[in-house]
């Protein structure tokens, strides 16, 4: 449905939010996390305008953290939108995985996703790192 997030997987520990082609990699990351005892909710944002703010607020209330995954610059875009919504409504830890604001290496999409941590392994590693950081900060 236009403007509504699609919940691809339910989870309680962390929410992974992506759009477009990265949805497949995000689902695979959730499977890798499950093998390590981490329950990841996966949201696919069908559109960025209109944006489903309600789904993000609900996810923030449900899980400890949110990671956005986008094949876009980490400046602006999905990560910035999610961060603004979370900050204004229900603050939780948010990390954005995307492309750095610099000249990029070249390659096919799978090579680039792996290089920039946008493949399943990179996404899962970022999720574990964020949850570890949260755990250390609350000790």
pLDDT for the residue numbered 138? 80
More confident residue, 136 or 41: 41
Residue 12 near residue 59, CB atoms below 8 Å: no
pLDDT for the residue numbered 109? 92
pLDDT, tens digit (0-9, with 9 covering 90-100), for 16-73: 999 988 999 999 999 999 999 999 999 999 899 999 999 999 999 999 899 999 998 9
Whether the predicted pLDDT of 86 surpasses 80: yes
DSSP-derived secondary structure for 6-45: EEEE--SSEEEEE-TTHHHHHHHHHHHHHHTT--EEEEEE
Lay out the sheet containing 40-45: strands in order across.
5-9, 40-45, 14-18, 65-73, 93-99
Q: Report the CATH fold assignment for 5-137.
A: Rossmann fold (3.40.50)
pLDDT, tens digit (0-9, with 9 covering 90-100), for 103-122: 999 999 999 999 999 999 99
Instruction: Report CA 26 to chain centroid distance, whole Å.
Output: 8
Record the pTM. 0.95
Whether the predicted pLDDT of 137 surpasses 90: no
Look up tokens 């493949």; give the residue.
119
Compute the mean pLDDT over every residue in the chain, rounded to the nearest whole number: 95
């Amino acid at each position: 449905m236009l403007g509504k997030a699609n919940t691809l997987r339910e989870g309680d520990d962390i929410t992974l939010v992506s759009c477009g082609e990265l949805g497949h990699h995000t689902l695979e990351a959730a499977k890798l996390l499950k093998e390590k005892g981490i329950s990841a909710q996966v949201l696919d944002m069908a559109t960025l305008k209109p944006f489903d703010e309600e789904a993000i607020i609900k996810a923030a209330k449900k899980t400890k953290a949110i990671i956005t995954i986008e094949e876009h610059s980490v400046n602006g875009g999905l990560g910035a939108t999610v961060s603004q919504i979370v900050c204004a409504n229900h603050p939780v830890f948010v990390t954005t995985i995307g492309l750095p604001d610099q000249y990029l290496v070249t390659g096919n999409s799978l090579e680039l996703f792996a290089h920039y941590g946008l493949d399943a392994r990179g996404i899962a590693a970022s999720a574990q790192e964020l949850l570890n950081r949260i755990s250390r900060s609350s000790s």
